[in-house]
Amino acid sequence: MSITEITEKAKDSKEINREEVLELLSVKDESDVSDLFSAASDVRDRVFGKKVFIYGFVYFSTHCRNNCAFCYYRRTNELPRYRKKADEVLMLSGSLRDAGINLVDLTMGEDPVMRANDYSELLDIIRRVKNEIDISVMASPGAVPEASFKKFTDAGTDWFACYQETYNRELFSRLRLEQDFDERLNQKIWAKKAGLLTEDGIMVGLGETLADRADSIIKMGSLGCQQIRAMTFVPQKGTPMERIRPTEPIDELISIAVMRLLYPDKLIPASLDVEGIAGLKTRLDAGANVITSIVPPNEDLAGVAQHELDIENGRRSVAHVMHMLDEMGKKAATKTEYESLLKKLKEENR
Ligand code: SF4
């Protein structure tokens, strides 16, 4: 079947099978790629119009007990690390809200201090951001025991994010060293059971095959995650994967477009963490509808994949992103629009 025939099927809301997903992921020809992106954009616009959701990123602790092979903040990488105090997190969240973002993503490594006493410090931060700043909250704390999820819901968390990175078990064991594949997969199931919306994600260019990528995309959909992302692997200094040749971002864009065709109504991020602001338009053109990894300048905050890119020059700030959205004829969702979307997603999640 040709790429156009498959994209037409998707546009007609017909099911795309695994073989067809693989065909889409394999596109090389320039006109096929352009057909794929334009079909994905059409499908996205049909559901969301010109609306784009904007997430602020507060990476409040870079301490971590884990040793993921791909990660700059892995335990054994000797680095200056930081842990922001609750008041600083509140101040940062407040200024992101004032700038017009829809959600604050509170991210940490698996920091033993934040994990202590059944996450009491983290839960307190979430509760305060939710109540005092009055903004939607995503928690990205790593893997959490099943019994703790209810506390995240009670603290006011809207989203729980936990990226598998790959659903190939063997590859997972080489990436997320000393971690349990099923425990990580179950994070999405346990979070959903506790009433939380969930985000999963894959990394592109970590040594996976196209079939792995197809299977991961299908698996993320079958878990019922409301937000799914694909992000290009960026080799990190001081890690075992430092010298791996980076993949071109086109593979990430193709993955975004395929996810959009398969799952028209899911939230799909355009992360600024790979190419900075330069990569925003291409990701939106591929079918993304959420801008993530917005980091305020001058606050000594890090990104994940690119811990410095475009942060201190302010190009990852909300003001700059809003300006770019204007130029692209897109519209940032208001607080009311985003909250009503979450309300609907939570009802469907029950
Ligand atoms: S990816 Fe997350 S869990 Fe793994 S080492 Fe980095 S911060 Fe820790």
Pocket test for ligand 1, best of 82, 110, 163, 206 (most atoms within 8 A of CB): 110
In the block, residue with structure tokens 């960026």: 234
- Total of domains in the chain: 1
Q: Residue 268 corresponds to which tokens in the numbers above?
A: 């799909």
CATH code (residue 309): 3.20.20.70
C-alpha–C-alpha distance, residues 164 and 57, integer Å: 19
Confirm whether 239 is domain-assigned. yes
Confirm whether 265 is domain-assigned. yes
Binding site membership of 141 for ligand 1 (Cβ less than 6 Å): no
Q: What is the pLDDT of residues 328-341, one digit of tens each?
A: 999 999 999 999 99
> For position 287, what pLDDT does the model report?
98
Tell me if 202 sits within 8 A of 166, measured CB to CB: yes
Q: Residue 348 corresponds to which tokens in the numbers above?
A: 């469907």
> For position 290, what pLDDT does the model report?
97
Confirm whether 12 is domain-assigned. no
Confirm whether 10 is domain-assigned. no
Amino acid at 60: F
- DSSP category for residue 130: I
Confirm whether 3 is domain-assigned. no
Low-confidence ranges of the chain (pLDDT < 70): 296-300, 302-314, 316
C-alpha–C-alpha distance, residues 133 and 148, integer Å: 24
| Pairing of the two strands 290-294 and 269-271 | parallel
By alpha-carbon position, which residue is closest to atom 2 of ligand 1? 109
C-alpha–C-alpha distance, residues 16 and 3, integer Å: 12
Binding site membership of 74 for ligand 1 (Cβ less than 6 Å): yes
Listed residue (96, 60, 62) closest to 78, CA to CA: 62
Amino acid at 254: I
> For position 244, what pLDDT does the model report?
94
Rounded distance from Cα 1 to ligand 1 centre (Å): 41
By alpha-carbon position, which residue is closest to atom 7 of ligand 1? 109
Binding site membership of 296 for ligand 1 (Cβ less than 6 Å): no
Binding site membership of 66 for ligand 1 (Cβ less than 6 Å): yes
> For position 272, what pLDDT does the model report?
82
Q: What is the pLDDT of residues 267-304, one digit of tens each?
A: 999 988 788 788 899 999 999 999 987 876 666 676 65
Whole domain around residue 89: which residue ranges? Answer: 20-349
Binding site membership of 321 for ligand 1 (Cβ less than 6 Å): no
DSSP-assigned states of every residue in 195-227: T-EEEEEEEESSS--HHHHHHHHHHHHHTT-SE
> For position 79, what pLDDT does the model report?
94
Tell me how crowded residue 174 is: count the other CB atoms within 10 A of its CB. 15
- How many residues can be counted in the chain? 350
Phi-psi region of 91 (alpha: psi -120 to 50; beta: other; left: phi over 0): alpha
Predicted TM-score (pTM) of the model is: 0.95
* Cα atoms in the Cβ-side hemisphere of radius 13 Å centred on 159: 28
Binding site membership of 109 for ligand 1 (Cβ less than 6 Å): yes
Binding site membership of 3 for ligand 1 (Cβ less than 6 Å): no
Confirm whether 13 is domain-assigned. no
Binding site membership of 175 for ligand 1 (Cβ less than 6 Å): no
Binding site membership of 73 for ligand 1 (Cβ less than 6 Å): yes
> For position 181, what pLDDT does the model report?
98
